[in-house]
Amino acid sequence: MSGSDRSWTIAPALLSFCGFLIAALLVIDGDLDALADRLVQQRETPPASATTPFQPAPVTVAEAEPPEKSEKSEKPAALPADKGDRSRVGALEDVCIDGTPAACKRWGLDGYYRALSQSKQGKLGRALRVSWYGDSVVAGDSLPARLRSRLQQELGDGGPGYVFIVPPHRFCLHESITRSRTDGEWLNYAVSTVTHQDGLYGAGGAFSETYGGNTTIKLVSGKVTQVELYYLGQKGGGTIKVLADGTEVIRAETKADKKTPAYATAAVPGGASKFQLELAKGRSRVFGLTLENGSGAVVDNFGIVSASVINFGQRDAAHWASELAHRGADLIMIMLGANEATWLGPNDADTKQYQARYEKMLEPVRQGRPDASCLVISPSDAAETKDGSFRSRPVIPVLVEAQRKAAQAKGCAFFATYEWMGGKGSAVKWNRSGLIGGDFVHLSVKGAQKLSDALYDALTTGSSRYGGP
């Protein structure tokens, strides 16, 4: 057979194999962005995070423009009336953990409201901490950044909080810092992109590993006086040095007989705005770095592209609970569902198991921070094309109700984003008003500010009704 004949014979097989590989990776990773990261994982030069200078945003709510007169009206999803008690503040639903709503001894948000009250009185002894988990809707930082700005305007600048030293995905951003790396190869792992068999991802669900890489984190504004390194002790572990404005403040030897999560803390008198990590002499796994002040507020951005309830729960649960306990967040918020909505139908078997899976995912959160508060934030409305027009994905309200029940079962508060934004048909309306992008899933900056403002206002009102010490 001639070379030409052989090429015609081999080509279809190669095309078929490539097609199978791409399809398989899409199933594993969830979207094209995660697929691209797999294909260039070790060669890609990572971009710095958002470089727009961080300034506290004006405390105003972005209002949607009125719909066009020709627009057909959809009956909005109804939210029960606020009765002036703790059970509901707008779209925020608290849950009674001990007693009944009429005579409740302990509500789900008590832990957060208590810490907030102590922070305002100067008695908390540290920054108020909020950790926001989610998928790409959260990862871009527009949502966490707005809440961070609102809380810091009220309580003071507590710093950026927990940050990944290398972003687990190029769309995992943080508006309070810039990141760059200069030397060495980095391998990045996360629960929803490139996974690791040991399931040890730290508090944020992602980590970076290197044999000698260096990286630099700069604050966009201000300084911090406290730094903590989250890392893994392991066989063959290397040395990690942390420099604050050029001065070494941490030196961690990560060699250990077995894999053991560890921490190294340092005070930075006078504060610093530039932090360098230098890693050498062996393999080092770094979960993250906390950059804080002794008071104020921080909002951790733990959003990761392609995250879902299934892959979010596929980690070592005991390890995650331990990391959550060490991080010590006063409020843990989880916003998932955008990815599941793209492949689940209302009557699918996986949809029927969704509540149980969500409850299982919440268990480490409750175990790690039993005295703190957790808040499940439902996905927004999302649209898809159908017969040449856009319609709301029919599975969204089913997922929302499953999340509401899971939150209640595990003692977490619930924010009904879907109903708050208008329910069925609202994604299309929000797109026309510039609040949701052209994919009818991801919020614009304006839309993210509107949602974060609603969350902040509901939590602020709820805290005013808190009667605890």
Alpha-carbon gap, residue 300 to 145, rounded angstroms:
9
Global pTM reads 0.85
The total number of residues shown for the chain amounts to 469
Query: For the chain, where do the domains classified as CATH 3.40.50.1110 start and end?
Result: 77-158+294-469
CATH 2.60.120.1360 domain span(s) along the chain:
160-293
DSSP-based three-state secondary structure for 288: strand
For 282-323, give the DSSP string: SBEEEEEEEEE-SSSEEEEEEE-TT--HHHHT-S-HHHHHHH
Task: Report how far residue 132's alpha carbon sits from residue 453's, in angstroms, rounded to the nearest whole number.
Answer: 15
Q: What are the pLDDT tens digits along the chain (469 aa)? A: 444 444 434 444 444 444 444 444 433 344 444 444 433 333 333 333 333 333 333 333 333 333 333 334 445 566 888 877 889 999 999 999 999 988 999 999 999 999 999 999 999 999 999 999 999 999 999 999 999 999 999 999 999 999 999 999 999 999 999 999 877 789 999 999 999 999 999 999 999 999 989 999 999 999 999 999 999 999 999 999 999 999 999 999 999 999 999 999 999 999 999 999 999 889 999 999 999 999 999 999 999 999 999 999 889 999 999 999 999 999 999 999 999 999 999 999 999 999 999 999 999 999 999 999 999 999 999 999 887 789 999 999 999 999 999 999 999 999 999 999 999 999 999 999 999 999 999 999 999 999 999 999 999 999 999 987 7
> Which CATH superfamily groups domain 77-158+294-469?
SGNH hydrolase (3.40.50.1110)
C-beta of residue 230 within 8 angstroms of C-beta of residue 290: yes
What the block records as the tokens of 195 is 């996974």
Residues 6 or more apart whose Cβ sits within 8 Å of residue 344: 350, 351, 354, 395, 399
Q: Which value, in Å, is the radius of gyration of the alpha carbons in the chain?
A: 23
Alpha helices in 195-353 (DSSP H): 309-312, 317-327, 340-343, 349-352
CATH architecture of residue range(s) 160-293: Sandwich (2.60)
- Encoded amino acid at 394, one letter: P
**CA 177 to CA 217: how far, in whole Å?**
7
Q: Which two tokens stand for residue 58?
A: 């004006």
The two structure tokens encoding residue 399 = 């997922």
